[in-house]
Amino acid sequence: MNRRNGLQTPSEGTARTRRYLDRIARHDGELNAFLHVDGEGALAPAAPGPLSGWVVAVKDNICTRGQKTTCGSNMLANFVSPYDAHVVTRLRANGATLIGKTNLDEFAMGSSGENSAFGATRNPHDLARVPGGSSSGSAAAVAAGLCDAALGSDTGGSVRQPAAFCGVTGIKPTHGRVSRYGLVAFASSLDQIGTLARDVRSAATLLTAISGHDPRDATSASRAVDDFAPQGVRGLRIGVLKGDLEREGNDERVVAGIQRAAKALEAEGATLVDVALPSAAHAVSAYYLIAPCEASSNLARFDGIRYGARASAADLRATYEETRARGFGPEVKRRIMLGTYALSSGYYDAYYLRAQKLRTLIRRDYESAFASCDVILGPTAPAPAFSLGERTDDPLSMYLADIYTLPASLAGLPAISTPCGFTEDGLPLAAQFVAPAFEERLAISAAAAIERSLGPFDVAPRYADGLPRSLSAGAA
């Protein structure tokens, strides 16, 4: 095998895929990372390309032709997509093998992986803990070595936060860098498809493969695709968010992990500077107005008439009510109601418009910070993965798990979460890097430096048996 670029012979690729299918059969019963495994399709010959030999999973809110795309919801439990999302087309064209669709919080609404209509996903490092959300299945599948890499979607942290909880790398690109064509919409001004892998270089390679302009997505940027391969950090100015590290409620182990990461970057030749994002303290409030408002609009189509499952009822109004009552879970209903209320007559200016103004202030804070640094370092989450069921009855506590990922989402900036150590009981810790728009490589380079210094970080120990070797560039 040519491990420098991942290319394999057809027989090597088939053998690799079979090993992953075997691992899924052995381990996914306890993880619930996959909603659908396409064994027949995965074993079919793939096109030659830069991702030949790569076995990739796809979050189940990304359309795949001829397969179910459920969004983790009873509303779409039987929906079979008639077309491929742009990113799926790109994966196929680059030679990747698609092994199946991964579990998620319903319609990508959640921070724990517990909101799927088809059961919660569990964290490979501790089966009693959450894997994070909403890309729970993608993160857990990568962390357990059930695939080489995976696609997720990130609206307010749904790639980065589960990557942090599961001990893998997750990249959210600049809004517009990757086409959203074929991604079932949650909040259109925030949604972005991202990548997850067990090392930084693999996540960056996958991002290169799916990036680029697509005229079918009106928000797709007309920019050349960059090579996101990491470079050195000597001379790079790293902004450290001291305010985030001093925030009340942070787990001290997270703070210590970020401090270790900062020292590691300094040892690699980077310069540390203190920066602040004053308006980011209000990001949770702004996000949980903007995202529910857009969700209320986007999910209006699932009414039992135009799209989605249909309940039998006596008249049209009852059909609407019964369909949505049965089809949507509690968290989706909560967000639709929040958004509908905020958009209703007399409340638009008081809520939605003010939240958008705050979003502008957050973007300006980033612009000011990047005047003195190249990339910003901070926590991905305020604490390691919490226990299953711990926050299900406390939505505010659940939403606060996204406090550090939301600002970059609201500003539309690229961000990466990468492991920076473990707690004494083996739970992953993670650092987040945020870069200026379309400067993904800066964040990726900083994350790679952490990986070199503090890693390597591999699969959860209980799943290390029989794992195929890494296909990332530079692997031995």
pLDDT at 476: 27
pLDDT at 4: 39
pLDDT at 296: 96
**Amino acid letter at 430?**
A
pLDDT at 365: 98
pLDDT at 78: 94
101 assigned to active site: no
202 assigned to active site: no
Query: Distance between CA atoms of 25 and 22, rounded to whole angstroms?
Result: 5
Query: Distance between CA atoms of 77 and 196, rounded to whole angstroms?
Result: 25
- Look-up of token digits 């990047």: 370
Q: Which of 111, 138, 153, 158 is catalytic?
A: 158
Q: Of 241, 244, 233, which Cα lies nearest the Cα of 271?
A: 233
Residue 140 inside a domain? The answer is yes
Q: Report the SS3 class of residue 162.
A: helix
| Residues 98, 63 contacting (CB under 8 angstroms) | no
Residue 104 inside a domain? The answer is yes
Residue 263 inside a domain? The answer is no
Q: Report the SS3 class of residue 412.
A: coil
Residue 317 inside a domain? The answer is no
Residue 347 inside a domain? The answer is no
**How many independent structural domains does the chain possess?**
1
- At 47, which CATH number? 3.90.1300.10
Residue 224 is given by DSSP the state: P
pLDDT string in tens for the chain (476-residue length): 333 345 577 888 899 999 999 999 999 999 999 999 999 999 999 999 999 999 999 999 999 999 999 999 999 999 999 999 999 999 999 999 999 999 999 999 999 999 999 999 999 999 999 999 999 999 999 999 999 999 999 999 999 999 999 999 999 999 999 999 999 999 999 999 999 999 999 999 999 999 999 999 999 999 999 889 999 999 999 999 988 999 999 999 999 999 999 999 999 999 999 999 999 999 999 999 999 999 999 999 998 888 888 888 888 889 889 999 999 999 999 999 999 999 998 888 999 999 999 999 999 999 999 999 999 999 999 999 999 999 999 999 999 999 999 999 999 999 999 999 999 999 999 999 999 999 999 999 999 999 999 988 889 999 998 888 776 643 32
- Domain hosting residue 193, numbered range: 10-231+414-463
> Measured at the alpha carbon of residue 60, what is the angle toward residues 67 and 392, in degrees to the nearest 5?
145
- C-alpha dihedral sign at 215, 440, 133, 39: positive
Residue 378 inside a domain? The answer is no
In angstroms, what CA-CA distances link 179 with 8, 56, 90, 222, 352? 28, 18, 10, 11, 26
Residue 71 inside a domain? The answer is yes
Query: Distance between CA atoms of 238 and 269, rounded to whole angstroms?
Result: 10
Q: Which of 134, 136, 409, 472 is catalytic?
A: 134
Token representation of residue 417: 């979460």
pLDDT at 474: 39
pLDDT at 7: 58
**Amino acid letter at 113?**
G
Residue 24 inside a domain? The answer is yes
Query: Distance between CA atoms of 209 and 411, rounded to whole angstroms?
Result: 24
Q: Which of 52, 59, 73, 136 is catalytic?
A: 59
- Look-up of token digits 């986007």: 298
357 assigned to active site: no
Entry pTM: 0.96
